[in-house]
Amino acid sequence: MASRCFVAFLLFAVSNIGTAQLAPIQVRFEPRCDLVTGYFSYSGTDAVSYAWTFSDGGISTLASPVRTFPFGTEFTVTLDRMDANGELVTFSTTYLTQDQLESSHVEFPNVFSPNGDGVNDQFTALNDELLGPCAELRIYNRYGQLLFESPGGDLRWDGTSFAGEQASSGIYFYAFTWGTAILNSTVTLVR
């Protein structure tokens, strides 16, 4: 089994504001090409109604609203929840979105073997379903010659050059670009 390197980044820096208790607002973020989508929910079980307010002017009465924000922005989420006794409690949390590459968990293998056995035959981001449409992958040989380029969409290198020639076993350099962020590293091709 080939080993994999992991390139992981913290999705968001989070801080609570305006509340004496930890805000039970849960959120899952998914980065997209130009925006980040947040899936919000209340972690308590006592709410019978919800009133969500977002600092971009958005409001929702859904139990689990979805909002989209630009990268590199700070936004506040406020939840007014009412319980069965009619008690209204307000929770508020501020989030700061990072840049695109820091907003994702990017994972690349460090070895691949394009030998047609169906295992590790392509070098690609292991989670490219979110990254592919807005990312580019470039592969260079040890002389700095560009062997492969995939602008957006298909981030898979099968070990061949632009001319269709098979690259030999060895270490190759790659540049993964997403927006203005660039990740440079190496991959070993084994035949």
DSSP of 20-44, one letter per residue?
A: SS---EEEEEEE-SSEEEEEEEE--
All domains in the chain, ordered by first residue: 8-100 (2.60.40.10), 104-189 (2.60.40)
Least confident among 21-25, 54-58, 154-158, 166-170: 21-25
If one counts every other C-beta atom within 10 angstroms of the C-beta of residue 41, the result is: 16
Phi, psi of 159 (to 5 degrees): 85, 15
* 37 pLDDT tier (thresholds 50, 70, 90): confident
Say if residue 74's pLDDT is above 70: yes
Q: What is the tens place of the pLDDT at every residue in 78-94?
A: 999 999 999 999 999 99
Who has greater pLDDT, 67 or 1?
67
pLDDT at 107: 80
pLDDT at 128: 56
Say if residue 46's pLDDT is above 50: yes
Q: What is the tens place of the pLDDT at every residue in 124-149?
A: 887 656 666 778 899 999 999 999 99
pLDDT at 33: 74
Who has greater pLDDT, 35 or 114?
114
Kindly give the residue spans of alpha helices, DSSP state H, lying in 31-154: 128-131
